[in-house]
């Protein structure tokens, strides 16, 4: 339970406190992935969107894509992540940060030597929680990746070498 700026109590998955957003760990939605990892959805829309992503050893985090309007920041919390940044490969360990500007094709995944966790922040944000839920269903074979193709503009996730 959180107190708002006017002294009222507030509950829910995210609470506004004097223009701030507070998401408690127990209130964050978790979208499981088949390799034992998953997305923890933190904030959606507004100035920033954020999620925490846990990846199993060697698991892909994202196919090659770019964002037309948003920059994306990745902070590696644990393990090692291999980033493909417009053709260049960068391996980044825990504590490292990668900032991807709008328009730059990128992809990433955990290295084979162990699991990895990272914090991903997109700004300005696009409401993408449903995108992550869909990715979870795709990873579990419950939905086709092709279902995301018509939604590339909506989520500002433009897949490289994929038809619209």
Q: Phi then psi for 139, rounded to 5 degrees?
A: -65, -30
Give dist(CA 92, CA 96) in Å, integer: 6
**pLDDT tens readout for residues 4-48:** 444 444 444 565 555 788 999 999 999 999 888 999 999 998 889
The pTM of this model reads 0.85
CA angle 72-128-81, nearest 5°?
40
**pLDDT tens readout for residues 69-120:** 999 999 999 999 999 999 899 999 999 999 999 999 999 999 999 999 999 9
């Amino acid at each position: 339970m959180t107190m708002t700026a006017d002294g009222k109590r507030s509950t829910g998955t995210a609470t506004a406190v004097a223009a701030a957003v507070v998401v408690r760990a127990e209130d964050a939605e978790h979208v499981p992935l088949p390799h034992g990892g998953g997305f923890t959805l933190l904030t959606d829309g507004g100035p920033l969107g954020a999620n925490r992503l846990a990846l199993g050893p060697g698991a892909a985090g994202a196919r090659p894509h770019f964002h037309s309007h948003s920059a994306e920041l990745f902070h590696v919390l644990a393990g090692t992540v291999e980033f493909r940044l417009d053709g260049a490969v960068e391996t980044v360990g825990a504590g490292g940060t990668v900032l991807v500007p709008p328009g730059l094709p990128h992809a990433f995944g955990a290295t084979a030597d162990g699991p990895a966790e990272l914090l991903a922040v997109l700004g300005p944000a696009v409401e993408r929680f449903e995108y992550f839920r869909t990715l979870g269903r795709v990873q579990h074979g419950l939905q086709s990746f092709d279902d995301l193709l018509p939604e590339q503009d909506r989520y500002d996730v433009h897949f490289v070498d994929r038809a619209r």
